[in-house]
Structure 1
Amino acid sequence: MAKQISDSKLGILGGGQLGRMLIQEAINYNLTTLVLDPDTDAPCKHIANYFECGSITDYDTVYKFGKKADVITIEIEKVNIEALEQLEKEGKMVFPQARVIRLIQDKGVQKQFFKENDIPTAPFQLANSKEDMLHSHIAFPYMLKQRRDGYDGKGVMRINSAEDLENAFDSHCLIEEIVDFEKEIAVIVSRNSNGEVKTFPMVEMEFNAEANLIEFLISPSTYPDHIQERAEIIAKNIAAALNVTGLLAVEMFVTREGQILVNELAPRPHNSGHQSIEGNYVSQFDQHLRSIFNLPLGDTRSISNAVMINLLGEKGHEGVARYEGMEKIMALEGVYIHLYGKKYTKPFRKMGHVTIVDQNREAAIEKANYIKETLKVIS
């Protein structure tokens, strides 16, 4: 007889805040959780049933850890794929599948996948040297992205002219035409092994211009229905083309002409879905568990307007974290605070998030702006 979810062991590669929130949901199912992370003070350490400090990119460490679990998942893509492939061969369930993680680890391969599957995306070119960058068929200015290991705005730079190439990345890169976009949006799609698929309502994102990571998220979107429906169809088409099991976050641009272009994918719970914990009938973390254990998918509809703010470490502060203004924002209605259990802060480090839910969209945004100015992560 197949194991029930409460009789299973879930191995999570990565012990950061995404793993922490996944475990918080897993506790509701009496699911045994095992975590591997290189940080001795990882946010998951004290809430996982089993925590191991070790490299998630080392073959032997990942392979031995994976043998302890029934189902293996990730909270970050930078993991050892060869170990996951071997575990799959030996019958372990790995979701998202190793082949999906391999594709998404490389932004160049990811963009080629878009092209081959008629997924709308910005024009691009692969570059293996600064000579390629200089003689690109994409004119200056353009965006230069490292093909591997970039995240939260790292590994991305704007190249305005040939002079900028002196400081360009010395690695295999992706050259991308700059998109004149009106808004950045995201759709999270879930898919279980039975092929059941559901999307969360499209959200709108605002980025911190200096750190280039999500600072402000509004759900659901107020774009016309035809744009929201098109974004959801694109997300479903990508999930189907990948034949992925689990969650897939699809980040997109809406251009000023109303065109939708796919930017990047993340095959896991994502920053663009945190508001779903309070703002939707099912959270992205619950949905991920349902997907990877092949259970019926939950109701993704929004309960209310929800605005999510990332709590980032303040500039000029590095050390043991303190949270200034906490009591002031706790006095507001519909405010939910999530701290990630990180002892030390540094500039722009993700230390937590706050979600504001309100039936009045403008009131939720007003509260969010107040919180942004009031709650500070300092040392």
Structure 2
Amino acid sequence: MTIKESILPGATLGMLGGGQLGGFFAEAALRMGYKVAVWDPDPNAPAKRFSHFPVTADFEDSSAYESFTNQVNATSLEWENVPVYLTEKMESDGHIVRPGSNSLELAQNRIKEKAFLKTNGLPVTDYETINDPNELENLLLPLPWIVKTATLGYDGHGQWQINDQEEVQTAIDAMGTGGPWVVEKVVPFMKELSVVVSANGDGTLITYPSTENLHWEGILKTSISPARIEKSVDLKARELASTVVRFIGAQGFFCVELFLLRINDPSKRDSTPTS
């Protein structure tokens, strides 16, 4: 979307998903003079507190689709697990969705995401993919590992850390049949960083200062912005995040998460289209 195509205040912005990130989006939009429509199956989704047009229905609901799309001038995504088929239909019907289906499909599948990063020469931790938990017994990847479901895992859900060979069977028993999975070699990192990148589609990228993330038991507890890092590290992280988004080639706002392995060496972890 170029400046000439900008959606100006007074218009209605749509949000697919109504979690807390959607709430932040809606609050900011209201302050700028926009109206907001939020579609989420949960009637108590947090973002609906700020919505002029709340829609409560499954994403497969055709009448909800018509109700939502008739209200909005442009739509964004609350998180990466919004169904791709929904955004594809919206795009095919001529609706503006930012970020779009291609980047959404990439972000919600860890195997596709890591293959994309590796193919484009971007730094990513060593990993293997498996379709059966029993494959863990024969992996040549050095321990320790973190095993993650390829899809739908978040905030520590769908993840198992394996520190030594004795823990392999315990993980196999816990994983069940929800594959495939990606097995990552644990990276001893100094900090986890996030960089928000805005891409307008004509090659212009804007980055925001790095944020430092602190986790407890796999769940994000605190974000510190700006991150407690040297300016040179911040610039390198922002440059790397911009490179990731440039390769993705889509419009919208993206949050790229990175590990700082040592001074001046951020290593890419994953990328999440975000509102």
**Same fold (TM > 0.5):** yes
Query: Partners of 2:55 and 2:91 in 1: how far apart?
Result: 21
Query: Partners of 1:2 and 1:216 in 2: how far apart?
Result: 36
Task: Work out the percentage of aligned pairs sharing the same amino acid.
Answer: 26
Provide the secondary structure at the position in 1 that maps to 2:233. Answer: helix
Provide the secondary structure at the position in 1 that maps to 2:88. Answer: helix
Query: Partners of 2:235 and 2:49 in 1: how far apart?
Result: 41
Corresponding residue for residue 123 of structure 2: 120
Letter in 2 for 1:215: K
From 168, 187, 191, give the equivalent of 1:179.
Answer: 187
From 17, 33, 49, give the equivalent of 2:52.
Answer: 49
How far apart are 1:44 and its partner, in Å? Answer: 2.4
Query: Partners of 1:48 and 1:118 in 2: how far apart?
Result: 42
Does residue 1:154 correspond to 2:157, yes or no?
Answer: yes
Does residue 1:261 correspond to 2:267, yes or no?
Answer: yes
Letter in 1 for 2:145: Y
Query: Partners of 2:265 and 2:30 in 1: how far apart?
Result: 41
Higher relative contact order (CA 8 A, sep 6+): 2
Letter in 1 for 2:112: V
Q: What does the per-residue CA deviation read over 1:339-371, in whole Å, with 9 as the maximum and x for residues that have no partner?
A: xxxxxxxxxxxxxxxxxxxxxxxxxxxxxxxxx
How far apart are 1:11 and its partner, in Å? Answer: 1.4
Count of residue pairs brought into register by the alignment: 266
Does residue 1:14 correspond to 2:28, yes or no?
Answer: no
Query: Partners of 2:189 and 2:128 in 1: how far apart?
Result: 20
Provide the secondary structure at the position in 2 that maps to 1:26. Answer: helix
Does residue 1:192 correspond to 2:200, yes or no?
Answer: yes
RMSD over aligned CA atoms reads: 2.1
Corresponding residue for residue 233 of structure 1: 239
How far apart are 1:4 and its partner, in Å? Answer: 4.8
Go from structure 1 to structure 2 and tell me whether the alpha carbon gap of 1:41 and 1:242 turns closer, same or farther (over 3 Å shift): same
Query: Partners of 1:201 and 1:3 in 2: how far apart?
Result: 24
From 83, 88, 92, give the equivalent of 1:89.
Answer: 92
Corresponding residue for residue 163 of structure 1: 169
Structure 1 segments unaligned to the other structure (5+ residues): 270-379
Query: Partners of 2:7 and 2:252 in 1: how far apart?
Result: 18
Q: What does the per-residue CA deviation read over 1:43-79, in whole Å, with 9 as the maximum and x for residues that have no partner?
A: 22232111111123x2636643335422111101212
Alignment of 1:66-81 (within 5 A): 66-81=69-84
2:232·2:264 contact (CA, 8 Å) conserved in 1? no
Q: What does the per-residue CA deviation read over 1:158-180, in whole Å, with 9 as the maximum and x for residues that have no partner?
A: 12323232223532100000101
2:259·2:267 contact (CA, 8 Å) conserved in 1? yes
Letter in 1 for 2:252: G
Provide the secondary structure at the position in 1 that maps to 2:28. Answer: helix
TM-score, normalisation: structure 2:
0.89
Provide the secondary structure at the position in 1 that maps to 2:30. Answer: helix
Provide the secondary structure at the position in 1 that maps to 2:222. Answer: strand
Structure 2 segments unaligned to the other structure (5+ residues): none
Provide the secondary structure at the position in 2 that maps to 1:87. Answer: helix
Provide the secondary structure at the position in 2 that maps to 1:6. Answer: coil
Query: Partners of 1:224 and 1:118 in 2: how far apart?
Result: 25
1:59·1:83 contact (CA, 8 Å) conserved in 2? no
Letter in 1 for 2:53: Y
Larger radius of gyration: 1
Alignment of 1:1-379 (within 5 A): 4-56=7-59, 58=60, 60=62, 63-64=65-66, 65-160=68-163, 161=165, 162-164=168-170, 165-170=172-177, 171-208=179-216, 210=217, 212-256=218-262, 259-269=265-275
How far apart are 1:129 and its partner, in Å? Answer: 0.6
Provide the secondary structure at the position in 2 that maps to 1:118. Answer: coil
1:60·1:83 contact (CA, 8 Å) conserved in 2? no
Go from structure 1 to structure 2 and tell me whether the alpha carbon gap of 1:149 and 1:113 turns closer, same or farther (over 3 Å shift): same
1:5·1:29 contact (CA, 8 Å) conserved in 2? no
